[in-house]
Amino acid sequence: MTIILKNKETLKFDDFFFKCCIGKNGLAKDKVEGDKKTPKGTFSLGNLYFRKDRNSKPNTKLKCVQIKKEMGWCDDLKNKKYYNKLIKIKKKIKHERLYRRDNKYDFLIPINHNTKRTKLGKGSAIFLHLTKNFKPTEGCIALKRKDFLILLKLINKNTKIKII
């Protein structure tokens, strides 16, 4: 089964519709780092990352990974080796911190955009994550916590997301 982004504010999975928000500047066929656009295409999903200090392990068929304080996602255009990968935070590598004060990343699933043969500058850290107010994202897709938890029960490691 596939999650489909129906429009800028609706995700559909099976018979379920979820209100969501996407990148501030809409959608892009050719994603560029920092353009604040959500990439178009059909992508697989990664593991579920979650904050165990704030949440119990959710009911899902996805592999669950506890977010630790030293975890980051590399968005460093000068680092070919780690670009768009989960890293242990180092001062010399530019990154997106996963362990945050706000609740955006209490639950997150990487969308596997630019992950197979990673190209520098083609976009990194594209996630399904949480939102409280549906403000546009930097390029991710965000859902309310309640809807995210429902979606987690429905999807599995073979689920794809189609962004059109």
Q: Which helix (H) or strand (E) holds 150?
A: helix 145-154
Cβ atoms of 31 and 22 within 8 Å: the answer is no
DSSP 8-class letter at 148: H
DSSP notation for 69-134: TTEEEE--TT-TTTTTSEEE--TTS-EEESS-SSSTTSEEEEB-SS-TT--TTS----EEEE-SS-
Domain boundaries, the chain: 2-163
pLDDT at residue 91, rounded to an integer: 86
Spatial strand order of the sheet with 71-74 comes to 86-88, 71-74, 95-97
Taking all residues of the chain, what is their mean pLDDT, rounded to a whole number?
Answer: 97
Give residue 130's pLDDT band: very low, low, confident or very high (50, 70, 90).
Answer: very high
Task: List, in order, residues 6 or more apart from 64 with CB less than 8 Å away.
Answer: 47, 48, 49, 50, 57, 58
Looking at residue 125, its pLDDT comes to 98
Indicate the CATH number for domain 2-163. Answer: 2.40.440.10
pLDDT tens for residues 17-28? 999 999 999 999
In this prediction, residue 99 carries a pLDDT of 98
Structure tokens at 76: 């460093």
Q: State pLDDT tens for residues 55-110.
A: 999 999 999 999 999 999 999 999 999 999 999 998 899 999 999 999 999 999 99
**H/E element, 161:** strand 160-163
Cβ count within 10 A of residue 111: 27
